[in-house]
């Protein structure tokens, strides 16, 4: 399996519901480093997984929708615990939509799976990976 990865970051505020979260039930901030890995078993006719520039641009646009936002106030996330695990899946699904729409270029249509890793710090991270559903 071939893969190409891009890295970016975003900053958010949010709070959690549930005693398990202790003081994180209060509004707090987080900065995430995000790694997105695009995978396919065969390279395209030009020998690439996808256009890395379009991949980086697409990831940045997905993150821009969350960056510097209080996730508690984002309508599609309201009432959800926006844990690192949850956010990794939400970001993957938004990137997958861009692949299927063609926004990441024709080579990206051959992407078979994605993995999104959100690093909370240098010692803690969470990932979500899934096959890319066909259009």
**pLDDT attached to residue 68:** 97
Location of structure tokens 């006719």: 45
pLDDT tens column, 120-131? 999 999 999 999
pLDDT tens column, 101-116? 999 999 999 999 999 9
pLDDT tens column, 37-48? 999 999 999 999
Domain count, the chain: 1
Kindly report the pTM of this predicted structure. Answer: 0.94
Domain CATH number, residue 119:
3.30.479.10
**pLDDT attached to residue 125:** 97
Cβ contacts of 70 within 8 Å, gap of 6 or more: 12, 13, 14, 27
**pLDDT attached to residue 51:** 96
Q: Are 8 and 60 in contact (CB under 8 A)?
A: yes
**pLDDT attached to residue 78:** 87
Of 9, 25, 5, nearest to 120 by C-alpha is 9
Of 59, 62, 83, 60, nearest to 71 by C-alpha is 83
**pLDDT attached to residue 135:** 52
Write out the residue range of the structural domain in which residue 68 sits.
Answer: 2-131
Q: Mind listing the pLDDT tens digit of every residue in the chain (135 residues)?
A: 999 999 999 999 999 999 999 999 999 999 999 999 999 999 999 999 999 999 999 999 999 999 999 999 999 998 899 999 999 999 999 999 999 999 999 999 999 999 999 999 999 999 999 999 865
């Amino acid at each position: 399996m071939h893969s190409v990865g891009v890295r970016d970051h975003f900053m958010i505020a949010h709070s959690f519901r549930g005693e398990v979260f202790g003081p994180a039930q209060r509004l707090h901030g987080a900065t995430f480093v995000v790694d997105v890995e695009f995978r396919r078993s065969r390279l395209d006719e030009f020998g690439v997984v996808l256009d890395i520039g379009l991949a980086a641009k697409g990831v940045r646009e997905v993150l821009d929708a969350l960056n510097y936002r209080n996730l508690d106030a984002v309508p599609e996330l309201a009432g959800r615990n926006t844990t690192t695990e949850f956010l990794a899946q939400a970001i993957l699904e938004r990137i997958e939509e861009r692949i299927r729409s063609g926004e990441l270029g024709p080579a990206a249509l051959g992407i078979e799976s994605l993995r999104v890793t959100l690093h909370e710090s240098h010692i803690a991270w969470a990932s979500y990976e899934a096959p890319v559903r066909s259009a």
